Structure 1
């Protein structure tokens, strides 16, 4: 009997160990993909950022690339533009996206059609959106200035003026990315228990009070998701800006992504790789604390 009980204990331990290791088989493919497509390229980029290379030969240069990149006169302006771009696009997507989502979760009969129309811009590539807005904002042939002339308003060179170029690109980015924000907000609002609305109606709450006291607090998870996604997208922005202004006029719309691309196109591969590493560190230093702060507030 003792021998049988001992064998049973050993068998149970083997079964428990198999149960513990069994989920690892499911995680292994994702872990392998993560190593191949993310970890390994980042380690290689980190190495090449300390070298001068021409895609064939690499010569170690230490921190010279970092010193040269950080002393570039256009870098500080590009960092400033990147922060302005990321914060502004993020804020507008959150505010405008929530307002549209509230409107599209009401009892409107055509709300499904309007949801499709709002989401349509997300399906268009960033380059196509950039080309479209570049044509619309043309100083003489663009539809925007042509429309303003109907009201005797003199338009400006929206993309050629240093005072309006960055704002014009921001508007185009918000137009394109608003669909994702609206969809996330709609999902967050629709996940709210209907009993909250019923209780508010019985208490005689107005629509504004329902939005303020129910929708805004209880859709916090959706709002946090929109903030994180929009902010990271703003920091990593490149395609839309390049297709509209190429960082101009001058350096008015230069962001980190466009500065890195200019270094690549000029043949400074080691220096441009340094820029990519700096941009990765920049994203991590801003996005991770922001996500931690939002998650902390969500739990409160």
Structure 2
């Protein structure tokens, strides 16, 4: 007796189209997680970001205190844009953001390459490089302000030992903002380095082996493999550092308070000075303008860098 086993529906050339289509098309899958799991994150996002943002846009159109508010339309924006130091603050903000993000990219990549090489103490050195990231920004600002004091600062005392009279580093209009930017880089380059380490370690070793087979040097490995294939890390560091530079306030305020005079003022410090003076609506309008400026700069930059990332 001959028995046959049922092996499922036949989907050969003679099979009608509906049967074949049903056999090949997978069933529609629902979301990986129930909608209820997204709800807590949505509530937090709504409460922490969306609601304060909408309220800020409203209060920017008012003169307000803790107890009342008066609608004034666009007067706050007009007054803030008429601020005499705004041009200097905007210029300093751009210089600060470009300088700090550029240095973090260059130093972060260099340290990333070094700390992914066959180095004996690379684990310890990674910890040392990342340590400043963990320190409070205010504490860093106070510490470096003490080190850079013209009379009692450690840096000028060391220079005095070799016969050099150190200047007033933070009291000089030409060096104040530059030194704050360098301290910012020292504090933030550890995060950039960690991002680069992750990006470099994700590159398949086959590419490096191919360069070695072709007789390439360490420079060829960096130029043709590490540099282009670590672009996602570069993209992340540029965006994060540039946004941080545009919004930077705490380190600048701790070290120079926008001085000497107004030479190291940035947009955020101008906003804070207005808030200190009791012009709450004016400072809120400044925050809204800063939000618009950051968005206007970051969105096209993100688009351009993202296109290059896709092309690679």
Give TM-score scaled by structure 2 length. 0.89
Structure 1 residue 94: Cα displacement: 0.3
Aligned equivalent of 2:82, options 58, 71, 83? 71
In the alignment, is residue 123 of structure 1 matched against residue 134 of structure 2?
Answer: yes
C-alpha change, 1:253 and 1:51, in structure 2 (3 Å) is same
Gaps of 5+ in 2: 1-26
Distance 1:58 1:96 in 2: 48
Structure 1 residue 248: Cα displacement: 0.6
Q: Corresponding residue for 2:68?
A: 57
Distance 2:242 2:34 in 1: 33
Indicate conservation of the 8 Å contact 1:139/1:158, yes or no: yes
Aligned equivalent of 2:266, options 249, 252, 255? 255
Q: 1:241-284, CA deviations, whole angstroms, 9 ceiling, x for partnerless residues? A: 11101111111111111111111111100001001101111111
Aligned equivalent of 1:140, options 138, 151, 164? 151
C-alpha change, 1:193 and 1:22, in structure 2 (3 Å) is closer
Distance 1:19 1:225 in 2: 31
The aligned runs of 1:1-300 (5 Å cut-off) are 19=30, 23-300=34-311
Q: 1:91-122, CA deviations, whole angstroms, 9 ceiling, x for partnerless residues? A: 00000111111111110100000000000000
Q: 1:60-94, CA deviations, whole angstroms, 9 ceiling, x for partnerless residues? A: 10111000000101111111110000000000000
Distance 1:21 1:214 in 2: 36
Distance 1:82 1:145 in 2: 28
More helix by share: 1
Indicate conservation of the 8 Å contact 1:55/1:269, yes or no: no
Structure 1 residue 151: Cα displacement: 3.0
C-alpha change, 1:20 and 1:191, in structure 2 (3 Å) is closer
- SS of residue matched to 2:70: strand
Bigger CA drift: 196-205 or 172-181? 196-205
Distance 2:33 2:162 in 1: 70
Structure 1 residue 24: Cα displacement: 2.9
Structure 1 residue 20: Cα displacement: 5.1
Structure 1 residue 33: Cα displacement: 1.2
Q: Corresponding residue for 1:13?
A: none
Gaps of 5+ in 1: 1-15
C-alpha change, 1:219 and 1:22, in structure 2 (3 Å) is closer
- SS of residue matched to 2:150: coil
Distance 1:263 1:251 in 2: 14
- SS of residue matched to 2:169: coil
C-alpha change, 1:24 and 1:17, in structure 2 (3 Å) is farther
Structure 1 residue 152: Cα displacement: 2.5
Distance 1:20 1:103 in 2: 43
